A and B are shown apart, each in its own frame.
Chain A
Amino acid sequence: MATKRVAICAVAQHKNEPDLWYKRFQNMLLDVLEDLQGQTGFKYGENGVGIIVSASDDFFDARTISNNGVTDVIGGQYLAEEKMAQEGLNAIGYANAIILSGHKDLVLIMGHCKESQGESRNMITNCGFDPFYGRATGLDYLNAAGLQAQAYMRKSGLTDDQLAEIVVRSRQWAARNPYANAQEVVPAGKVKASPMLCDPIRQLHAYPVSDGAVGLLLASEERAREFTDNPVWITGFANCMDAFFFGDRDLTSNFALKKATANACRRAGIQDLKKAADVAEVMDCYAYQQPMWMEGLGFCGDGEGGRFIAEGGPGKYRVNLSGGTLAGNPMIISGLYRAAEATLQLQGGAGDRQVPDAKCAVAHSTNGPAGQFHSVLILEA
């Protein structure tokens, strides 16, 4: 008998760090796992967790997600381990489907990445392009974002001053988040004086290299309260992929995000996300992306990202009270961090970042160059 609703029972976040060279990602996951077990008392096997969905990236791990990656540490041996190599938020979509289908009623999600292991994130994301048509020109996720930022700033009127303002605010909130990487508060002048990486993206507009790990325990409605008094319900999830060729895409249209948002909202029965959501967590690897993704999520009109910032939109709609990806999460599991923070807000466990009486949250993630692929998760208390 299939369940009607799926709950996130508990979340555990490893603190993001710039270079945890002395800690294996397996150990990071083990700490996360023990935290989750401490919170919920879950066990493995017959009436416990029977499927683990792991989320990681082969190129960042510098090994394949083969069967001796993290299987033993996360409890996968003798059970079922499924692997999500796309951005981690999709592991939640996948676990949600496993439970809704009635296949299993308890699923553990474990995501990890140590971006510090690689000499260069850009070398890795260069491999995210077509080997023949894309890689030779040096395209990577940073300069692809540079191209998108150019086009988006022309369209939205977003300014260098506003990009600095977005970074300053991110750090102010990150200073309150014990799991954030970049917790140092920076003045706008320092952001504007930071070197240009890829015009118009400056060094401090880009998310710092980060090592992290996240775990979540999901359960069917029937079993959720065995593990928590505060279940958070998944009411909507959707994703959408834009065109394969970079040049085929309208880089400022938010095509994939708008579709993902519309589908997630339809499933959640939400007409207007900006009215419904008390908290929004968006994956902003680069400062320009925060207003741009908020546009795609429907919090402001098309091309109005500049005005959104000018009118204090991020404060009004409680955007990224965690500091967001700008404060540093590994790209490949940034969506899991967004979902974890959104869950804490709905459980009343967000500490100094808590929004009083938050009832509905949206968590967003993106993957592929310049927002090719977007995922949207809607959670309700």
Chain B
Amino acid sequence: MTCKCEDIKDCFVIEARMALPNQYFVGRIGSKWIIAMRDKKKLTGLKCDKCNITYVPPREHCNKCGATIADNWVDVGTTGEIVNFTIVNYNDKHLPKKAPYILGQIKLDGADTPLTHIVADVDPADVHVGMKVKAVFAEGPVNTLMQLDHFEPV
């Protein structure tokens, strides 16, 4: 069916917004991950020894074999390599920065799964796959993913 031509006289809309304040438990693993960043400026991961995979972000069970790996914390580097990136050229309220900004997938030294995060202090024209970057932590306690503020070139 095609759209009937409608009379739009005397039609009005309401302006609404969904603001639903809520809490979300980041989990025991997520909490430990944040605390290591906040208190020791360290990036950590959870390793499955059987599969020889170090996961960042950390998770309680190996994504491959399902083993419980919650206690097998390892330090990964605060440096790593950009394995993929895009340049965000639009602005929107949920975005942490004004366009243009770089969203990268960063494989930290010693980790096997890349972390998606902001890459800053580099001209978007110069960013490339294989670029070495280092983590820049927030000064005070943030207690979110943004405890790791961004990555920048080494």
Contact = CB atoms under 8 A, between A and B. Distances in A.
B1 A198 contact: no
Contacts of B113: 245, 247-248
Contacts of A23: 6
A21 B16 CA distance: 14
B89 interface: yes
Nearest to B4: A31
Contact of B8 (A12, A14, A22, A248): A22
B88 A138 contact: yes
Interface of B: 1-4, 6, 8, 11, 13, 16, 18, 24, 26-27, 30, 55-57, 59, 63, 84-90, 92-97, 101, 103, 105, 113-118, 129, 144-146
B89 A140 contact: no
Interface of A: 12-15, 17, 20-23, 31-32, 35, 59, 62, 119-120, 122-123, 126, 131-140, 142-143, 146-147, 149-151, 154, 178-179, 195-199, 243-248, 251
A147 B84 CA distance: 7
Given A32-B1, A196-B89, A132 B18 contact: no
Contacts, number: 124
Nearest to A138: B95
A199 B89 contact: yes
Residue picked from B8, B24, B90, most chain A C-beta under 10 Å: B90
Nearest to A149: B86
Nearest to B115: A247
A15 B116 contact: no
8 nearest A-B residue pairs (beta carbon): A146-B86, A138-B95, A126-B94, A199-B87, A247-B114, A35-B1, A136-B145, A22-B8
A18 to B, nearest CB: 12
Given A134-B145, A137-B118, 7 more contacts: A120-B92, A133-B57, A138-B101, A138-B118, A146-B86, A198-B89, A245-B63
B2 A178 contact: yes
Contacts of A247: 56-57, 105, 113-116
Contacts of A120: 92-94
Nearest to A145: B86
B145 A22 contact: no
Q: Which of B1, B63, B117, B146 has the most chain A CB atoms closer than 10 A to its own CB?
A: B1
Nearest to A135: B94
B16 A179 contact: no
B96 A179 contact: no
Contacts of B118: 137-138
Contacts of A151: 84
A179 B90 CA distance: 29
B123 to A, nearest CB: 13
29 contacts: A12-B1, A14-B1, A15-B3, A23-B6, A31-B1, A120-B93, A123-B93, A132-B26, A133-B57, A134-B116, A135-B94, A137-B103, A137-B117, A137-B118, A138-B92, A138-B103, A142-B90, A146-B87, A146-B103, A197-B89, A198-B87, A198-B89, A199-B86, A199-B89, A243-B63, A245-B113, A246-B105, A247-B114, A251-B84
